Amino acid sequence: MELMEVIRDRRAVRDFSNQPVSQSTVQDLIQAAVLAPSAMNRQPWAFAASIDRAFIESMAAHARDFLLKHFPASGPESELRSMIENPEFVLFYHAPALVLVFATSDATQDAEDCCLAAQNLMLAARDKGIGSCWIGLARPWLSQLATKEELDLKLHYRIVAPIVLGYPREWPESHGRKEPEIHWIR
Ligand SMILES: Cc1cc2nc3c(=O)[nH]c(=O)nc-3n(C[C@H](O)[C@H](O)[C@H](O)COP(=O)(O)O)c2cc1C
């Protein structure tokens, strides 16, 4: 696909076919991720990945349980609580693959660098016909030391982008975008 086509046609995908995503495909996507720019070219990212659907399901269940215990009942995000409480809600949407992008230190611009890597990964996925969805709601559980221990991850790594991947049953319609607010400075 042309670059602008990929950018325009990427969607958050939440409904996946049964087609698995291969390990080599995930590796290719991570290779695209690390082509992102980073502050002082520090490349402060690390990736954890799974293509084990059952394991991804079990992580989704743990993350949901954690959210049910800790998600605020009031405040700006409280409306999400009823979605999480729905017994049908599966945090990772039964995706066949999951990539977690971690910042490897807490230097000031590490999170930004990891976001750029994550966007590269999602665009490269779209180019291969693979849908992605960034699952910010998984971060509270993934930030726990106990979770990192359980997943055998370095304890000081900070989760930035949990991304599910899979072949979409269909590509969703665009949600549209607001007109950008642009201030021409001069
Ligand atoms: C930082 C961030 C966190 C997100 N967290 C979630 C999430 O927890 N669950 C979910 O279903 N979608 C999540 N999304 C996907 C957004 O809802 C989606 O990108 C947005 O609605 C725009 O739709 P589009 O990606 O199809 O253009 C997240 C996206 C971003 C960038």
Q: What is the pTM of this model?
A: 0.97
Tell me the backbone φ, ψ of residue 95, rounded to 5 degrees: -70, 150
* Helix extents (H) in the chain: 3-9, 23-33, 53-70, 79-85, 110-127, 139-142, 145-150
Nearest CA to ligand 1 atom 5: 136
How do residues 82-121 score in pLDDT, each as one tens digit? 899 999 999 999 999 999 999 999 899 999 999 999 999 9
pLDDT reported for residue 73: 79
Retrieve residue 157's tokens: 């790594």
Residue 185 Cα to ligand 1 middle (Å): 31
Residue 133 Cα to ligand 1 middle (Å): 6
- Ligand 1 binding residues, C-beta < 6 A: 11-12, 14, 133-137, 175
Q: Which of 135, 160, 163 to mutate to test the pocket of ligand 1 (most atoms within 8 A of CB)?
A: 135
**Residue entry with tokens 């009031």:** 74
The residues that bridge with 159 in the sheet, in sequence order, are 102
pLDDT reported for residue 141: 98
The full set of domains in the chain, from first to last, is 3-166 (3.40.109.10)
Nearest CA to ligand 1 atom 28: 134
Residue 100 DSSP SS3? strand
Instruction: Please answer whether residues 6 and 168 qualify as being in contact, where contact means their C-beta atoms are separated by less than 8 angstroms.
Output: no
Q: Which of 77, 123, 133 to mutate to test the pocket of ligand 1 (most atoms within 8 A of CB)?
A: 133
User: Is the confidence at residue 78, as pLDDT, over 90?
Assistant: no
Nearest CA to ligand 1 atom 4: 136
pLDDT reported for residue 64: 97
pLDDT reported for residue 151: 95
Q: What confidence tier does 71 reach under pLDDT thresholds 50, 70, 90? A: confident
Average pLDDT, the chain: 96
- Nearest ligand 1 atom to the CA of 14 is 11
Mean pLDDT of 8-15: 98
